[in-house]
Structures are given as structure tokens and as C-alpha cells.
Structure 1
Amino acid sequence: MGAPRWKTLAGSMLCVLLSSCTLGPDFVRPAAELPSQWPGTAVNAAALDDDAAWWAGFEDPILGRLAAEALHANLDLRLAANRVQQSRAARGIVAAERLPAVGVSASGVRARNSEVGLNDPSGNAGRADYGLFQAAVGLSWELDLWGRVRRQTEAADARVRIAEEDVHAAQTAVLAETARDYLQLRATRQLLAITEDSLRIARDIQRLTVSRQRQGVASTLQVASAATQVAALEARLAPLRHRDAQLRSALALLLAQPPQALDATLAGVRRDWPALPAVATGLPSELAGRRPDIRRAEAALHAATASIGVAKASFLPRITLNGDAGFQSRQLDDLDGWNAHRFSIGPSISLPIFQGGRLKANLALSRLQQQQAALQFRRTVLQAWHDVDDAIDGYGAEQQRTVSLQVAVVESERALEAAQRQYQAGVVDMLDVLTTQRIALDTQAALANSQAAAAIARVDLYRALGGGWPPS
């Protein structure tokens, strides 16, 4: 054994004399590099609600019921919760190594040994059979002098936190997907209603154009254009109805329900888009405590750091206290006599001498895995920063688009009112009025699309901010 190994053993023995050692680096929570404030004017720095029920801001009771049911029934969430229970059970297995293992055994046999064998402990030289009855209590306890089991338990605790953050991430994803699908369903039904209104107007225009052609006022081109508009609007209806069915089915799946199970609940979906308050983003420094992926990456780094201590402890001796006490006799009647008692007690020591470089490679691997976990943490934080920045920008852009389209809708309604007054005055005919009304409906459809996109962008922003799971 070389001098470095003797120095290591000497230092370790000194450590044992003073107190129990825990090898390896202690985990230090990494700092998340984030900006001092978020960009954009569509948000504010107020803290998120404690219950993280951001979907309540849409003022839609149906969405609230769907969100609550999704948290309760979604199968992905239940699978993630099951994995948490598995990780806690695995942690219990690891932590049990810190405690003594005690067992009770009893046996009774009738046997006969060979006359030409090497040994016959019965004393019968193999010429007769014999009985052997035993009852004993055994104990085995590894002295965790170098903190190997403590570091294993620490890593197991971190893996439990990883599983818990996976649950939080699944909750965030399920709630966001539920809200997106529901908001898209609202938009689809609004577009469907607007398209049906536009189709009625287009058919009126077509009938008037055909009538004008018979009177010699309208041309064949105008008649064909009116028919084209009717056919184009009719072609929009089937995809919208199919999209409606797809979204209802998607929501049912998120709530672990069969297809069409939510049709009655979704029959009363509202089609208007009330004004929404500004998004409460909280401070950027709070993002690391809210985003499940950042918390998961931190826990993974903790587990990798603790694994270095496990790898270091594998270089040093493992000392186990073993004890065994009980009774042994050749006759069952003699088993309870004092002269049948036996016991053994003493430590066992195992020290790796030559492992072909396996222990060194394992330690190097543990250190590299810790470096990887640290890089992954930095990457996760940076990705979260990008997600929030993109979500804020997207939400602000959709809000600006919505404001412009709201002005367009107001102006188109003014134009329709003017056309109706001119028609009553005999200045224009009904065809001009219907055409103006169709333009107004097209503008309303564009506004509905923009309002839905802004609402969905709001959901994406909440998801980027890490909202959507109860902080219990």
C-alpha cells in the first residue's frame, strides 16, 4: 500500500476518533442569473396569487371547473404522483441502511453425513443420522464512519424532490393545456357564429345579385362573385365544426373522460372576451422559486453533488458489527437449556485494495455528472428567461393587435350604420348595405381571432412564469 493511501487512512482514523465524517462536497444552492426586471408594459411586478389560480382571471366559471377537475382526475398527474411515492419508497430503502438489521431464525433438520467425507461434525462418523435444532437472533450494523449512507440518503432526498417537481411541471402543463383548449373552443364557436351570420348575408347578396341580373342591372361576373363568396363561407363551416369536436374531445381526455362526456358542460361556453387585468409577473428573482424545471434542475445538482461523497467513501474501509446469539442442540427437548446457548459477536472490515481503476473511474464519473448537472441548471435558468421574455413580447403584441382591431370594428359598425341610413334615404341599394355588413362581420371575426390569441398568449405567459400549481 503506497504512502498516499496510508495518509488517507490515517486522516480518516483521526476523523473517526473526533467525530463521524461525511466525505464529499456539501451542496451549495446555485445562484440563478436573471434580470432585475421584466420588459414590456403589458405586465406588472405584483406577486402571483398564493393559490396560483391564474385561470380565475378569465372570469369564466366553466374554465374554473375544468381546471379543478383536471388537477384531480388527469392521468398524467396521477402517474407523476405515483412516481413520487416510488421515489419516497426508494429513499426509505436507502435510509434503512443507517439502522441495524435484526433478524430471527429457527431451523430443525434430520441429516446423515458421509462415512468417507472430510468432516462429520455430528461425531457419528457417518454411521448414524442425527438431528440439529437451532434458534437465534442475528444483528448486523454498518458503521457509517465516512458518511456513505448519509450521502446516499441525501441523494435520495434530492431525487424525491425531482419527482415532486415533475408533478408540479405536469400540473402546470395540464392546466395550461386545459385553458388553451377551452379558450380555443370559445374562439371556434365565436368564429362559427360569425361565419354563419356572414353566410346568411352572402346568400342574401347572392339572391339580390341574381335578381338584379334578371333586371339587367348586374353582370354575370357579379353573380359569379356572389356565388363564390357563398361557397367559400360554406367551406369554412365543416372545418370549424370539426375543430369544435376535436377540442371537446381533447378537454375530455385531459379530464380522463370518454369522448363527448363534456358536451353538456361545454354547451354554455361564453363567446365574449371581457377585458383582462394586467398580468402579475412577480420579480425575476422569484422565478427560480416558481418554475418547476428550475427547482428540478437544482435538485438534480444536489443529488449529483451528494453522489461524489458516496464515490469517495467507497475508497475507505467498510466496518460492520455482526452479532448472533441463540440456542443449538441435537435434541429438540434440550433446545431451551442454558448449556445449549451460543453466541458470536465482532466486527468485520473490508477494504478495497485493487479494483482495476473502477473506484477512480466512478469518482471521476460522479464529478463529471455534477458538472453536467451544474451546466443543465444554468441552461434551464437561461431557457426560463427566454421563455418569459418571448411570452411577454407575444402577449404585448397580441394586445396591440386587439386594440387596433377594436378600432376597426367600431369604424366598420359606423360604416354599416351610415349605409343603412343612406339606404333608407334611397342613396344606395340593399346590395351595398349587405356588402358593408359582411365587411363588418369579417372585421369582427379578425377581432375574435386576436382576442383568443391574446388570451392564449396570457396562458403561455403564466406557464412561463411557473404559475399553475399549488405551492404546498
Structure 2
Amino acid sequence: MSRRVLSPLRRRAGVALCAFALAGCAAGPDFVKPESGLHEAALAPRQDYDGVAPASAAAVPPQWWLLLNDALLAELQSRAQAQSLDLQMASERIEQSRAQLGITSSEQLPSVAASASYAREALSEHGKFAALGAPSRPSDFWQLGFDASWEVDLWGRARRAREGAASSLEATVYDREASRVALSAELARTYLQLRGTQAQLDTARQNQAIAERTLGLAESRERNGVATRFETASAQAQLATIKATVPELTQRRNSLMNALALLLGEQPRALDAQLREAMPLPSLPAAVPVGVPSELARRRPDILRAEAQLHAATAAIGVAKADFYPRVGLRGRIGVEAFESGDLASWDSRFFSVGPTVYLPIFQGGRLTQRLALNESRQKAAAIAYRQTVLRAWHEVDNALDAWAAQQRQHAELSVSYAQNKQALHAAERGYQEGAADYLSVLTAQRNLLASQTSLNASATNATLTLVNLYKALGGGWEPDAVTAPAALSRNGK
């Protein structure tokens, strides 16, 4: 007798153990973090340039613009992080992905619903039920109940779907951080271009003063009969040429101020009062921290975004494979129903139903097979996109390091050129004033000085811009540790 009692219990226990074992399985491949290969990257300029500032293996500062020691730039960066419309839109996309994750996660939980209905019914006196003797007079019918259903996730379909949704949420988080990196770089680039344009305006005004002084000297010599009209006309032409550059530079300055206002989500001319006053370009730091190559994949949010997208695509394969297997669920209903509302409280008015449900796809016209093929192709495309993102990042860093070193070297040589042209102009002016040199030498020296000073200003601007490009390529502008932990928690379901 005890054997007959224990045998059903053993069978039920075995069935339960099998169900739990199956519930621990998940269809489809498990995601494996891809190797980036960036540990082989060389974070140093080529050996083609001498006398450039060294690159340091120190960690890349999240707020790299502080290396430029410009308080106004730091203030604008803080305002942009708080006011940028691009970052606000990216944050809303994160909220959308978080809501989608909640919707997907709910598929792992039972669903319970309540229902209530009332109807006044009457059978046809000439119908088949009346012919069988059923009463045809009108009557009320009341019904109250609860419905519950739960799909047993035997093949991990719901878990794979949640895994994919969590990875998609990670991708949107890293997408916002990529926007943050781009914003900080674009704001710094625009700010430095503004300072460079203001420096060119100041140079133009200085050269205008020189040209006006030279014109006055030429007119004085012409009045005294020691110079020709050619010298005076040439001096007037040189002055007009310099004056012609001022409107273009002024328009460029105003456009850059508006561009900064747009990055901050402000109206046009909102920053004019704060930015119109010219300030010198920030100086380059003595040493530039670039970190170590192995950390590059973790610092670049676009690489992390591509990795999360690959994870989501891998989880989608599991969802597609699970669709080939039966779906087993439990469904139950309980409630009360009666013809009189007063009888609803009676125990005899109860009804219930409970039992398993099984859905088995038999013929779908190839839909499930093609869906699996589609998701496998998407996963392969995501893997290629990840490799492409890593390779592009490697190229960007290498090019940025090379440009940074080249600009430093060019700026050093242009500084020598400017100093020599300035001395040449002083010598030409003194010789012309003393009558020892003709005006052509003065005109040539003026043009050479203007060209070298313009090139020097452009070089100073480009040198700081290459630093901006370098830190954008290195993934500076966000804090990985502040974002990676919450994203990992959402993926693991904690």
C-alpha cells in the first residue's frame, strides 16, 4: 500500500524536477563578449616629429577641457551638460527603452484580471431552446470573476526577450554618453574656433594700424617730392585689402557665438555679451594623458553601444529558436454567477476552472524559419558593425595623435617665421623712412608679416583643435564607472 502511495508522489516529483530543469535552459546561443584587440594599439605619435609634448599613460580625465585652464570654457561645458536638447532627447530614449524592458519583463510573470458583467436576457419563444422546454421569460444574469494565466518559460523565450531588451537599454544609455562625448568636443571646438577668429580680428586691426601708418608715411614722402604716386596707391590698396578681411571675420565670429548658443539650447545672440570680448586662445598642456590601450574599448561609448547591440541581436536568436518549441501555460478562472444579485454571496454560486494549456506550432508557412534566419543575419551584421566600430576608433586615435604632434611642430616653426617677418618689417620701414630702401620692400614685408601672423593664429587654433579631436577619439567627456554599473544591473535583472 505504501508503494502505491509513494509511486505517484515520485512521478510528480520527477515531473516537477524535469520542469525546473527545462526552465533553467534557454534556447539560442549565449552571448560572449567579443575581443576588441585594442590592447595592441599604440597610444603615442609616430617618430616623425621632434620636440613635441610627450603623451602620458595616465588615465584620461572625464572633464579633459579643464587641461586648457579656461574658466569660461569650463562654465559653458557645465551649462551644455545640463541644457543640451540633444542630451535631453537621448535621455528620453533611455526612458522609452526602460519602459520597453518593463513590458518585456512582465511576460515572465503571471497575469491576473478581474471581470464583471450583467445582462438581461430572454430566449426566443420560437427558438430551439424554447422547443426543448426552456423558459423564455426575461431574466437577469450576474457574473463576477478573476482570470489568471501564466506561461511556463520552458525554453527561455521570455528570458531571452528580457535579455535583449536589457541590452537594448544599455545601448541607449551608451548612445546618450556618445552624444555627451560629441557635445563636449563640439562645444570646445566651436569655442576655440571663436577665440581663433577673434585673434584673427585682432591681427587684422593691428595690421590695419601698420598699413595706416605706412600710408601716412607714403603720403608725406609724396608731398615732399621724394616718393611717387605708385607708393601712395600701393599703400592705399594694402590698407583696403586688410580692411576687407574685417567684415568676413566679424560675420564668422557672430556665427560661432550663435553656434555655441544653439549647443546650450539658447536663443540666437544669447551669449553675445559673454563671448564678444576677445580672449586669448588657451595654451596647450605640458603633458597629455592618453591612458592605456586596453582601456580604450571601455572609454569609447560607441564601442560599448555596438557591443550592447550585438548582445541584443544574439538574444533575439534565442527568442526565434524558442518559437519552434511548444508553449506550456497554466490558466485558471474563479468567480460567482447567479440570476439574482442577492445570490452572488452564496457559496453555491461559485464556479472555477483550472488547467494547463499547450500551444504547438505545426505549420507556419516557413515564417518561423525565416524569422530565425533574419535574426541570425542581424546578429552577424551586428558583429561586423562592432568590428568596424573598433577599427574606426583605432584609426581615429592614431590619426588624432599624429595630427596633435604635427600641429605642435608646425606651430613652433610658424612662431619663428612670425618673429623673423616682424623684424624684417621693422627694418624695411626704417630703411624706407631714411630713404635707404624703396616702398616695394616695405610692401613685401607687410604682406609677409600679415601672412605669417594669420598662419600662426590658424596654427594655434588648429593645435588646440587637434587636442579636442584627440580626447574625443579617446572617449573623454563622460565617466564610464558612473554608467557601466547601472547598465550591468539592468542586464542581470537586479
What's the TM-score, normalizing by structure 1?
Answer: 0.90
1:47 Cα deviation from its structure 2 partner: 3.2
Aligned match for 1:188, one of 194, 197, 222:
197
Alignment correspondent of 2:55: 44
1:247-302 deviation per Cα after TM superposition (whole angstroms, max 9, x unaligned) = 01000011011011111221445224424233211122211111111111101110
Amino acid at match of 1:68: S
Change (3 A) 1:269 1:349: farther
* Matched-pair contact (CA < 8 Å) for 1:205–1:435: no
Alignment of 1:316-355 (within 5 A): 316-355=325-364
* Matched-pair contact (CA < 8 Å) for 1:25–1:309: yes
Alignment of 1:303-382 (within 5 A): 303-382=312-391
Aligned length: 458
Name the SS for the 2:272 alignment partner.
coil
Q: Distance in 2 between matches of 1:243 and 1:148?
A: 57
- Structure 2, unaligned runs of 5 or more: 1-14, 46-51, 483-494
Aligned match for 2:125, one of 99, 115, 131:
115
Name the SS for the 1:250 alignment partner.
helix
Alignment correspondent of 1:18: 21
Alignment correspondent of 2:208: 199
Amino acid at match of 1:24: G
* Matched-pair contact (CA < 8 Å) for 1:143–1:319: yes
1:139-159 deviation per Cα after TM superposition (whole angstroms, max 9, x unaligned) = 111100100000000000010
Amino acid at match of 2:58: A
Amino acid at match of 1:259: P
Identity %: 44
1:55-78 deviation per Cα after TM superposition (whole angstroms, max 9, x unaligned) = 111110000000011111000110
Alignment correspondent of 2:488: none
Aligned match for 1:383, one of 385, 392, 396:
392
Alignment correspondent of 1:6: none
Q: Distance in 2 between matches of 1:281 and 1:113?
A: 85
Alignment of 1:386-465 (within 5 A): 386-415=395-424, 436=445, 439-440=448-449, 442-465=451-474
Alignment of 1:176-255 (within 5 A): 176-255=185-264
* Matched-pair contact (CA < 8 Å) for 2:317–2:375: yes
Q: Distance in 1 between matches of 2:352 and 2:99?
A: 34
* Matched-pair contact (CA < 8 Å) for 2:56–2:287: no
1:327 Cα deviation from its structure 2 partner: 0.7
Alignment correspondent of 1:296: 305
Alignment of 1:93-108 (within 5 A): 93-108=103-118
Change (3 A) 1:366 1:116: farther
Change (3 A) 1:183 1:274: same
Alignment correspondent of 2:86: 76
Q: Distance in 1 between matches of 2:127 and 2:474?
A: 77
Q: Distance in 2 between matches of 1:254 and 1:454?
A: 23
Q: Distance in 2 between matches of 1:424 and 1:203?
A: 15
Alignment correspondent of 2:37: 33
- Structure 1, unaligned runs of 5 or more: 1-11
Q: Distance in 2 between matches of 1:45 and 1:409?
A: 31
Change (3 A) 1:136 1:398: same
Change (3 A) 1:330 1:124: farther
1:174 aligns with 2:183: yes
* Matched-pair contact (CA < 8 Å) for 2:141–2:338: yes
Q: Distance in 2 between matches of 1:439 and 1:90?
A: 64
Change (3 A) 1:33 1:43: farther
Change (3 A) 1:258 1:302: same
Q: Distance in 2 between matches of 1:152 and 1:116?
A: 54
Question: Is 353-362 or 410-419 further displaced after alignment?
Answer: 410-419
Amino acid at match of 2:287: A
Q: Distance in 2 between matches of 1:445 and 1:47?
A: 35
1:43 Cα deviation from its structure 2 partner: 5.1
Change (3 A) 1:354 1:19: closer
Change (3 A) 1:420 1:236: closer
* Matched-pair contact (CA < 8 Å) for 1:24–1:308: yes
1:378-428 deviation per Cα after TM superposition (whole angstroms, max 9, x unaligned) = 111111111111111111111111010122233334445656887898867
Alignment correspondent of 1:56: 66
* Matched-pair contact (CA < 8 Å) for 1:180–1:456: yes
Name the SS for the 1:335 alignment partner.
helix
What's the TM-score, normalizing by structure 2?
Answer: 0.86
1:229 Cα deviation from its structure 2 partner: 1.1
Q: Distance in 1 between matches of 2:369 and 2:17?
A: 23
1:303-349 deviation per Cα after TM superposition (whole angstroms, max 9, x unaligned) = 01101110110001111111111111110000000000111101111
Question: Is 134-143 or 212-221 further displaced after alignment?
Answer: 212-221
Question: Is 221-230 or 110-119 further displaced after alignment?
Answer: 110-119
Name the SS for the 2:147 alignment partner.
strand
